[in-house]
C-alpha cells in the first residue's frame, strides 16, 4: 500500500513537470476584467457583481459556527474539523475577496478573489482523502495542499502564468465528482457532492456566457452575477449534507448503489413483461324461474 501511494505521488509530480515543460505559459487575459454588467448603484461600482458575493460570507460564517457548536455536524474523524474549518474560512473570505476585486477589477485585486477560492478547493481535496482514502494521510495533507494552492497564486502573480493555478482549480472539478462516485463514503447523503459539483459546473458556464446572458435578460442580470449565486450553492449543499448525514453501517460506493438499482430495475422490468394473467372460469348456471 505504501509503495503504491508513493508511486501515485511520483507519477503525479512527473506529470505536472512534464505538463509545465511541454505546454506554453498562460498569461492572464486582461479582457477577463471587462465584465458585461458595469452598472453602478448607490455609489458602488459594478454593483450586482459586488453584492452577489454576500451569500458566500453568510454561508461561510454559518458553516464555521456550526463546525464548533456542540459538534452539530457530528464530525468523527481526526482532521475533519480542521479541513472543514479551512473550507468555511475560504468560503467566507470569498465574500470579501471577490467583492473587493469587483470594486476595481485588475490583476492585483484578482489575487484576493482567487486566494480564498483556492483555500476552499484544496481543503475539499484533503477532506475527501480523510473520509474515503486514509484518515491519517488526509490529515497530514491539509497544510501541504493549502500551500500548493497559495504557491499557484503567487506563481501566477509573479510570472504571469496561470498553468499551476489552472491545475489547482480544475483538477478538483474532475477529481471530486469521480471520487464521490467511485470511492465508498463513510457517511450518508453522498449525492449532495454531485449536486454541489453540478452547481459549480453551471456557474462556470454562466461565467463564460457573461455577455450572452446579459443580453438575453435585456440587461437585467449578467452571467457573472448568476455565476456568483450558483457557486454559492456549492457550500449550501455541502452544509445541508453535513447537517443531515449519518455514519453508514456499510460502506458502498454510489457506483455500486447505482449498479444494484439498475440490476433490480432490469429484473423487475423483465418480470413484469413475462408475467401472465390467469383467468379462472366459473361455470354459469342459468337460474330457473
Distance in angstroms (rounded) separating the CA atoms of residues 238 and 20: 33
Domain limits, the chain: 44-274
Q: What share of the chain is helix, strand, coil (3-state, %, to 5)?
A: 70, 0, 25
Q: What's the confidence (pLDDT) of residue 13?
A: 62
Backbone angles phi, psi at 44, to 5 degrees: -100, 115
Q: Spell out the per-residue pLDDT of the chain, length 289, in tens.
A: 445 555 555 656 666 666 677 778 889 999 999 999 999 999 999 999 999 999 999 999 999 999 999 889 988 887 999 999 999 999 999 999 999 999 999 999 999 999 999 999 999 999 989 988 888 888 999 999 999 999 999 999 999 999 999 888 888 888 888 888 888 888 999 899 999 999 999 999 999 999 999 999 999 999 999 999 999 999 999 999 999 999 888 888 888 888 888 888 887 765 544 544 444 444 544 443 3
What DSSP character marks residue 246?
Answer: -
Handedness of CA 25, 34, 196, 194 (dihedral sign): negative
Distance in angstroms (rounded) separating the CA atoms of residues 262 and 13: 38
Cβ neighbours of residue 271 closer than 8 Å, sequence gap 6 or more: none
Q: What's the confidence (pLDDT) of residue 22?
A: 76
Backbone angles phi, psi at 23, to 5 degrees: -105, 145
Q: What's the confidence (pLDDT) of residue 5?
A: 54
Q: What's the confidence (pLDDT) of residue 59?
A: 97
Handedness of CA 137, 140, 145, 146 (dihedral sign): positive
How is domain 44-274 classified at the CATH fold level? Rhopdopsin 7-helix transmembrane proteins (1.20.1070)
What DSSP character marks residue 187?
Answer: B
Cβ neighbours of residue 58 closer than 8 Å, sequence gap 6 or more: 95
> Which three three-digit cell numbers place residue 248?
453508514
224 annotated to a ligand binding site: no
SS3 283: coil
Question: Model-level pTM?
Answer: 0.86
Long-range contacts of 167-172 (CB under 8 A, 24+ apart): 167/16, 167/19, 168/118, 168/121, 168/122, 169/117, 169/118, 169/121, 172/121, 172/122, 172/124, 172/125
Q: What's the confidence (pLDDT) of residue 9?
A: 56
- Cell 473587493 appears where? 100
| CA-based radius of gyration for the chain | 25
Residue 131, CA distances (Å) to 83, 84, 138, 164 in order: 11, 12, 8, 26
Q: Which of 58, 111, 114, 118 is nearest to 87 (CA)?
A: 118
Distance in angstroms (rounded) separating the CA atoms of residues 173 and 178: 9
For residues 66-102, one letter each, b for 16 or more C-beta atoms within 10 angstroms of the residue's C-beta and e for the rest, the string is: bbeeeeebebebebbebbbbbbbbbbbbbbbbbbbbb
Count the residues in the chain.
Answer: 289
Strand partners, 44: 41
Residue 60, CA distances (Å) to 54, 229, 236, 244 in order: 10, 14, 9, 18
Amino acid at each position: 500500500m505504501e509503495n503504491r501511494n508513493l508511486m501515485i505521488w511520483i507519477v503525479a509530480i512527473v506529470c505536472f513537470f512534464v505538463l509545465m515543460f511541454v505546454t506554453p505559459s498562460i498569461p492572464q487575459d486582461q479582457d477577463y476584467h471587462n465584465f458585461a454588467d458595469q452598472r453602478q448603484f448607490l455609489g458602488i461600482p459594478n454593483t450586482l457583481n459586488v453584492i452577489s458575493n454576500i451569500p458566500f460570507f453568510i454561508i461561510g460564517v454559518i458553516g464555521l459556527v456550526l463546525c464548533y457548536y456542540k459538534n452539530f455536524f457530528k464530525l468523527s474523524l481526526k482532521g475533519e474539523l480542521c479541513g472543514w474549518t479551512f473550507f468555511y474560512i475560504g468560503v467566507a473570505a470569498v465574500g470579501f475577496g471577490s467583492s473587493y476585486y469587483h470594486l476595481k477589477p485588475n490583476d492585483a485585486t484578482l489575487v484576493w478573489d482567487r486566494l480564498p477560492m483556492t483555500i476552499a478547493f484544496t481543503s475539499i481535496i484533503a477532506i475527501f482523502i480523510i473520509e474515503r482514502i486514509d484518515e491519517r494521510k488526509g490529515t497530514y495533507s491539509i497544510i501541504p495542499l493549502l500551500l500548493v494552492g497559495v504557491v499557484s497564486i503567487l506563481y501566477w502573480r509573479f510570472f504571469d502564468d496561470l498553468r499551476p493555478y489552472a491545475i489547482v482549480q480544475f483538477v478538483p472539478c474532475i477529481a471530486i465528482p469521480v471520487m464521490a462516485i467511485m470511492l465508498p463514503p463513510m457517511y450518508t447523503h453522498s449525492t449532495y457532492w454531485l449536486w454541489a459539483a453540478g452547481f459549480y459546473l453551471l456557474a462556470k458556464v454562466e461565467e463564460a456566457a457573461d455577455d450572452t446572458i446579459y443580453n438575453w435578460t435585456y440587461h437585467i442580470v449578467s452571467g457573472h452575477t448568476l455565476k456568483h449565486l450558483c457557486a454559492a450553492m456549492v457550500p449550501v449543499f455541502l452544509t445541508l449534507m453535513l447537517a443531515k448525514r449519518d455514519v453508514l453501517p456499510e460502506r458502498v460506493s454510489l457506483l455500486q448503489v447505482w449498479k444494484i438499482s439498475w440490476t433490480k430495475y432490469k429484473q423487475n422490468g423483465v418480470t413484469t413483461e413475462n408475467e401472465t394473467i390467469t383467468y379462472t372460469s366459473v361455470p354459469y348456471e342459468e337460474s330457473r324461474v
